Amino acid sequence: MTATAARSAPLVISARRKASNVVMLGLCVVATTAALAVLAWIFGYVLVQGGRFVSLSFFTRLPVPVGESGGGFLNALVGTGIMVGVASAISIPVGIFAGIYLSEFGTGWFAGMVRFVNDTLNATPSIVAGLFAYTLIVLQTRRFSAFAGSVALAVLMIPTITRTAEEMIRLVPRPLREAALALGIPEWRMTLQIVLPAAASGVITGVMLAVARVSGETAALLFTAFNNRFLSAALDEPMSSVPVQVYTYAIAPYDDWHHQAWAGALVLVTLVAVFSAAVRIATRNRHRSLG
């Protein structure tokens, strides 16, 4: 009798414990719902507002003076393309080779320090990258320039690329390396011709993440590339970019400009969503093929 009671006693859960279980787990569901609701709200609002004001001329025309209708973001779209391109040209080689260093030779305290510095640089406020490019280039050349903007963006891209490159190269199976070495290929050729191509899709994913991040970057460009109302491809002159133009238009007191800012925001969000989805699909295939 007593033995049965003792055995069944722990199974009795008081009403208070049951209630707190349900309430707290329910709150977790509520938190998730709230986060998703905010996401839907922001996405939905940008889609609706941007969709109302985006048009063909948004992509093909230059800005027009206040009061005239029409006009577009052509200069900003071209500017973002050029500056992200130059920033990629600077940061991709640096990031990939630093990634190779960390994954292939990255043992010991120095590699640990590089990893730590890289991770913390990855979280550097973008405005600081802008300040760096300003004192380094703008202050010396005495003019805002697209090149200075590209350098600021490159500073923001390098840590992301380095990190993903390291992780992805590390994933390449050891037997593949051993097979290559067994055939008499020197280590450097093994790394560049066997390991790097095997990790290519992952490394490209990292590059895409970095590109997506800096395409929407405003703070680093505000006082490096500045802004330019005209179409320009000169690296030594101020250059417009989509995020800076959105900012300029958003804080101006004109309705026309606000509409254009929403259209610009839609372009940025679409870009990010497409990149994120692509990265997601690429990494999912990768996990499947490895697993």
Binders of another protein among residues 177 to 236 (CB under 8 A) are 184-188, 191, 212-213, 215-219, 222-223, 226
**Nearest distance from residue 45's CB to another protein, in Å?**
6
Among 155, 168, 169, 172, binds another protein (CB under 8 A): 155
Among 110, 143, 254, 285, binds another protein (CB under 8 A): 110
**Nearest distance from residue 222's CB to another protein, in Å?**
6
Residues in region 5-24 near another protein by CB under 8 A: 10-11, 13, 17-18, 20-21, 24
Question: Could you write out the three-class secondary structure of the chain?
Answer: CHHHHHHHHHHCCCHHHHHHHHHHHHHHHHHHHHHHHHHHHHHHHHHHHHHHHCCHHHHHCCCCCCCCCCCCCHHHHHHHHHHHHHHHHHHHHHHHHHHHHHHHCCCCHHHHHHHHHHHHHHCCCHHHHHHHHHHHHHHHHCCCCHHHHHHHHHHHHHHHHHHHHHHHHHCCCHHHHHHHHHCCCCHHHHHHHHHHHHCHHHHHHHHHHHHHHHHCCCCCCCCCCCCCCCCCCCCCCCCCCHHHHHHHHHCCCCHHHHHHHHHHHHHHHHHHHHHHHHHHHHHHHHHHHHC
Nearer to another protein, 73 or 247 (CB): 247
Residues in region 125-154 near another protein by CB under 8 A: 125-132, 134-136, 139, 144
Residue 80 touching another protein (CB under 8 A): no
**Nearest distance from residue 103's CB to another protein, in Å?**
10
Among 116, 143, 173, 193, binds another protein (CB under 8 A): 116
